Amino acid sequence: MDRIDGELSPRDAEVVRTIEEEGLSLFTFDGLRRITGSHPETLSRTLERLEDSGLVVRSPEGYSLTDRSRSGSGLRPANGGTKSVPILHTFLPYAGSATKVIGALKGRWFDNIRWVGMANGDDGIVMKWVTDDGTTIIDARIAAGQLDIEARVASDSDLPKAVRAAHQLVGRISRLYSSPRPGSRVALMQIGHFSPHAM
């Protein structure tokens, strides 16, 4: 087994660091591969070792960390070189629609962004995507009837594709509300944009 003094090997630790940094409660093989830049065979072997060690568990929807890995790793963040940029803030049209939005976006691919997984926390549910080249991560956070979309980019040149991806997500969500619920009027999404130049 690829271990050093009973601890995680550097390769395995990097994978666990990435999962923990993203706060992922559920993630896919392909999404994790793009974020880490790992070769498919290398990542497959790493996840097998983590499964054998009881640190990762696989389900039909993907992978997740076990309680054992969360409590004992004490690992530092992996992607310290990225820059967070708020892209969009919007209010969902009516209470209780978060489940509808999550169901419509979960597991979906949009243009050049690929589904990574989900993170559950005290501040809401975050759905995550990564670009084909792994340079940009899109976070869509749903909490208290609001949707916030943020991009983490390796450089400013990656921002345009992050903005395009965010608007693709909003376009998908808007179509969910194109017809009114029974007994209600059509609700429009209220959207606030953040300008990157104002940051």
Type of residue found at 102:
I
- Which domain-ending residue is among 72, 106, 127? 72
108 and 179: one domain? Answer: yes
Q: What is the pLDDT of residue 182?
A: 45
Structural domain count, the chain: 2
Which tens digit of pLDDT belongs to each residue from 51-91?
888 888 998 888 887 876 554 443 333 344 467 889 988 88
Beta strand segments in 12-145, E: 26-27, 56-59, 62-65, 83-91, 113-121, 124-131, 136-143
Q: What is the pLDDT of residue 5?
A: 34
Q: What is the pLDDT of residue 6?
A: 47
> Quick one: tokens of 58?
């696989």
10 and 30: one domain? Answer: yes
179 and 158: one domain? Answer: yes
9 and 45: one domain? Answer: yes
DSSP label of 112: T
> Quick one: tokens of 119?
């993170």
Q: Is residue 78 a part of any domain in this protein?
A: no
Low-confidence ranges of the chain (pLDDT < 70): 1-7, 68-82, 95-96, 179-199
List the domain range (segments joined by +) for residue 10. 3-72
In angstroms, the CA 131 to CA 109 distance is: 10
Q: Is residue 77 a part of any domain in this protein?
A: no
Q: What is the pLDDT of residue 54?
A: 87
Let me know: does 194 contact 162? Beta carbons within 8 Å: no
Q: List C-alpha distances in Å: 100 to 35, 111, 145, 176.
A: 27, 21, 12, 8
Q: How many Cα atoms within 13 Å fall on the side-chain side of residue 68? A: 8
